[in-house]
Amino acid sequence: MTLQNLLFFVSLYAMLAMSLNIPLGYTGVISLAQAAYYGLGAYTAALLSGAMSAAGTTIPFFPDFLLCALAAAMVAGVFATVTGAFLLRLRGDHFVMVTLAFGEFVRSILASSSFTGGNLGVRGIPSIDIAGHVVSHGWPAVALAAVAALGTYWLCGRIERSRFGLSLRAVRDDDVVAHVTGHWPNWVRLRALVVGAAIAGLAGALVAPYYGYIDPSFFGLSEAVLVLTMVALGGAGERRGAVVGACVTIILSFSVSWLPVPAAAAGSLRQLFLAATILVIVRLRPKGLAGSSRQVNP
Amino acid sequence: MHIDFLLDLVLIGLTSGCLYSLVALGYSIVYGVVGVINFSHGEVYAFGAYVGYVSIVMLGLPLPLAFLLSAVSTGCLALMAERLLFRPLSSGQNLSLLVAHIGLSVAIRSVLALVWGERFRTYRTPNAVSEVLRVGGVALSLHHLLVLAATALLGLGLWALLSHSRFGRALRAVSQGRDAAAAKGLPVVGTIAGAYALGGFLAGAAGVLAGHLTELTPQMGVLMGVKAFTASVLGGIGRPWGAVVGGLVVGVLEALVGGLVGGAFREAFVFGLLAVVLLAFPRGIMAPRSGDRGRWSQK
């Protein structure tokens, strides 16, 4: 595990945590489906870039990776629209449970469909080329991920200060008052969910060429739980919290892999370490490390 | 389609449905009393299954003793979690309570994986032949009989506890109105802890029984959690007897889908079922038409 890896994953997960923070932190919609949107984005980018490089077609003046990224964001957004339209009728804990089921549903479909390669996943994902340079591996990939994370940070800042962000927080803090003042709560929640899912889809398009292969186990419940705990640990409701949570979690899990333990136990040990941290932080600072005094009322 | 094949499927479904019922009872009782979903409940069940593995396979204890040991240990686990995590966090945000449940689940899963590894474990020794009882054309193994009988016994015990004991009355009173129960001098905090412990006890019992039917893995609690939660919603969450019926229904439906459509669709079916149940029957299939809070009403 190198510094390069560490920086890439910090950027990637900061992006994912910020994407979940839009529905969760700003709007108060707790979702465990973020890994499914992320995975759908990754699969879209992987399958589309594979098909395009196999067919040898390119669109003039429009780079392939941009097309894949757009497609990934769109597929994730469409899925979020469909699921949100049905599931947002549920509140609180019931919504959490049904998004958990949706995430596992997507994973089990990805794992059993032959179109997505079943449990083996997609292999040989083409790398991203910009002007003849490979930017999906090594330091260029870190730079690309950092640019994407900074872009997300900027976008979240714009959202926080916009009218849209105001209506998100209004729905979170008191949806009856928000409704009375002209914000239809479920429409606002749906938009937050879709924007968050689209950003998660972009993160998927970033990670697929970096790994070179993907399989359904990358996008299961543990991934959704990881992203959710990042937001909660850092403090839901502000972009800063999501970034802090992602940094702390990734650095913690990397530090376990530097410990002298057998490789077979390293995965479980990392999980245990994370779980212990979660429990300690949630007991000592229930609002997160960078948490503000604002309330999150799902 | 032979009728015996269908009967076999129904019987297998009823057996696994018994386990879902036992775990679903935990969701339902806790929801009835506190009004929150006990997200780490599936992992408590997995922990019980592994305690059973230790006492049956590694220590060679007789089955009733192993059963008691594992159910009591999961009860204590749930009690401890309630005291150290859920009670202090219950006054705060929903998100921190959820994160505490998630942290506990991940902790239990990773401890199981660290100690016993990711590979499948089973209670059965390789050369043990499971006896098969034939009733007409339907084959019943001893394991299935064990599960059915033990669930019936537990159900009977639970009925006695809920309707004829002080604790059962307190549980019902707290679920119907916490403030009124407190005004009457009932120990509300202790009753809530008791609800968690009772749920944990039943989940541990289900874990030991599950070890006789399937293999154990550290991940076994996740799917069980979703299925049992589906069962408890199907029966109307907050109603113990609804959870029992819901568990049996989920078990039979799942076995029928697995046998008639294909095993690959079983998981996807359960997840789809949860969404359909939550959206179409949010108060369960047995809910009275109106005037009910969806909690535990004894009319």
Give the residue among B78, B39, B44 at the shortest CA–CA distance from B226: B39
Q: What is the mean pLDDT of residues A78-98?
A: 88
**Chain B nearest-CA residue for A107:** B268
Q: How far is B112 from chain A (nearest CA, A)?
A: 9
Rounded to an integer, what distance in angstroms lies between the CA atom of residue A33 and that of residue A194?
12
Q: What is the mean pLDDT of residues B196-212?
A: 93
Inter-chain touch A283–B107, beta carbons under 8 Å: no
Q: What is the mean pLDDT of residues A234-239?
A: 85
pLDDT grade for A201, boundaries at 50, 70 and 90: very high
Q: How far is A90 from chain B (nearest CA, A)?
A: 7
For residue B278, give the amino acid letter: L
| A8: phi then psi, degrees, rounded to nearest 5 | -60, -45
* Interface check A219 vs B, CB under 8 A: no
pLDDT grade for A52, boundaries at 50, 70 and 90: confident
* Interface check A278 vs B, CB under 8 A: yes
- Which pLDDT score is estimated for B127? 44
More confident residue, A202 or B1: A202
A101-160 confidence digits (pLDDT tens):
889 889 888 888 878 887 888 887 887 777 667 777 788 889 989 999 999 999 999 999
* Interface check A283 vs B, CB under 8 A: yes
For residue A285, give the amino acid letter: R
A16-43 confidence digits (pLDDT tens):
999 999 999 899 898 999 999 999 999 9
Residue A268: list chain B partners with CB under 8 A: 110-111, 113-114, 218
B54-81 confidence digits (pLDDT tens):
998 888 888 889 989 999 999 999 999 9
CB atoms within 10 A of CB B151: 24
Please state the pTM of the whole predicted model: 0.86
- Which pLDDT score is estimated for B269? 84
ipTM: 0.82
Inter-chain touch A272–B222, beta carbons under 8 Å: no
- Which pLDDT score is estimated for B291? 46
Rounded to an integer, what distance in angstroms lies between the CA atom of residue A103 and that of residue B116?
27
Q: Strand B138-141 vs strand A133-134: parallel, antiparallel, or unpaired?
A: unpaired
- Which pLDDT score is estimated for B287? 66
- Which pLDDT score is estimated for A260? 73
List, in sequence order, every beta strand (DSSP E) within chain B: 132-135, 138-141
Inter-chain touch B271–A287, beta carbons under 8 Å: no
* Chain A interface disruption, residue of B102, B230, B254, most A CBs within 10 A: B102
Residue A259: list chain B partners with CB under 8 A: none
Inter-chain touch A108–B268, beta carbons under 8 Å: yes
DSSP classification of residue B289: S
Pick from B95, B96, B107: CB nearest A272: B107
Rounded to an integer, what distance in angstroms lies between the CA atom of residue B138 and that of residue B132?
10
Pick from A86, A109, A232: CB nearest B99: A232
* Chain B interface disruption, residue of A83, A98, A238, A295, most B CBs within 10 A: A98
Inter-chain touch A87–B226, beta carbons under 8 Å: no
Inter-residue contact A191 to A164 (CB < 8 Å): yes
pLDDT grade for A291, boundaries at 50, 70 and 90: low
